């Protein structure tokens, strides 16, 4: 494993209209990089053993990903577990089952040093993520300031208590048992 590890700083926003976003990014000298569609399926045990610990196991199309608490903001991007060997057998043995399954269309933009992902989910929810990569922890504060500046320029609004990311919104609408477990653990509020 060679290469330089980077720290990923990201924030979620309520996006403006996609046409408006694309126009504004272009006016500011940025560009649309790509558009892609994918399906996310999230897994847990019947008693929510993973989500109660703020651990998220998902399969995005054919790739497995594991997101861990707190560490996700501290570890370099290359530390995210994306390739779990033998996971299919492990899933069968651990009685893991899907609790969320939805498709997303993602429009990706580049503007200055920021990457902007505008997602529209199959269940009608939209969210935008602005991300900046920095070489080390000393760059995090500047990255957060740049994210806030770009969000303002493109017309993105902070997520309110009524809005959440895609998975949180899906859970609130379609997975009451998982929501209850997350509320009990203090990971989500009842709203």
Domains and CATH numbers, the chain: 7-184 (2.40.320.10)
Task: Say if CB 150 and CB 117 are below 8 A apart.
Answer: no
- Within 10 angstroms of residue 106's Cβ, the number of other Cβ atoms is 15
Handedness of CA 20, 24, 25, 26 (dihedral sign): positive
- Within 10 angstroms of residue 188's Cβ, the number of other Cβ atoms is 19
Q: Which of 35-44, 78-87, 104-113, 138-147 has the lowest mean pLDDT?
A: 78-87
- Which stretches within the chain are classed as H helix? 18-27, 71-74, 87-94, 140-154, 166-174, 176-184
More confident: 3 or 130: 130
Report the pLDDT averaged over residues 157-174. 86
Confidence of residue 80 (pLDDT cuts 50, 70, 90): very low
Confidence of residue 73 (pLDDT cuts 50, 70, 90): very low
H or E segment and range at residue 31: strand 31-44
The Cα 78–Cα 63 span in angstroms is 15
Confidence of residue 72 (pLDDT cuts 50, 70, 90): very low
The Cα 173–Cα 25 span in angstroms is 32
Q: Is the pLDDT of residue 124 over 70?
A: yes
Complete DSSP assignment for 138-168: GGHHHHHHHHHHHHHHHT-EE--TT---HHH
Task: Say if CB 131 and CB 117 are below 8 A apart.
Answer: yes
User: What does the angle CA 64 – CA 80 – CA 57 come to, to the nearest 5 degrees?
Assistant: 40
Report pLDDT digits (tens) over 90-102.
556 778 999 999 9
Record the pTM. Answer: 0.76
The Cα 177–Cα 79 span in angstroms is 30
The Cα 140–Cα 125 span in angstroms is 29
Q: Which of 64-78, 115-129, 165-179 has the lowest mean pLDDT?
A: 64-78
How many CA within 13 A on the CB side of residue 173? Answer: 17
């Amino acid at each position: 494993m060679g290469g330089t590890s980077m720290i990923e700083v990201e924030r979620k926003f309520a996006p403006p209209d996609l046409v408006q976003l694309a126009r504004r990014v272009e006016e500011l000298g940025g560009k649309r990089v790509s558009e892609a569609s994918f399906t996310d399926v999230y897994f847990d045990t019947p008693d929510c053993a993973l989500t109660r610990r703020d651990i998220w196991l998902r399969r995005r199309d054919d790739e497995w990903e594991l997101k861990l608490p707190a560490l996700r903001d501290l570890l370099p991007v290359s530390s995210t577990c994306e390739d779990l060997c033998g996971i299919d057998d492990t899933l069968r043995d651990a009685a893991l089952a899907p609790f969320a399954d939805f498709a997303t269309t993602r429009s990706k933009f580049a503007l200055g040093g920021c990457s902007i992902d505008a997602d529209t989910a199959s269940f009608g929810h939209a969210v935008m993520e602005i991300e900046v990569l920095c070489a080390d922890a000393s760059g995090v504060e500047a990255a957060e300031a740049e994210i806030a500046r770009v969000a303002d320029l493109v017309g993105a609004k902070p997520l309110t208590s009524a809005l959440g990311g895609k998975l949180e919104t899906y859970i609130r609408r379609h997975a009451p048992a998982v929501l209850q477990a997350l509320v009990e653990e203090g990971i989500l509020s009842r709203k």
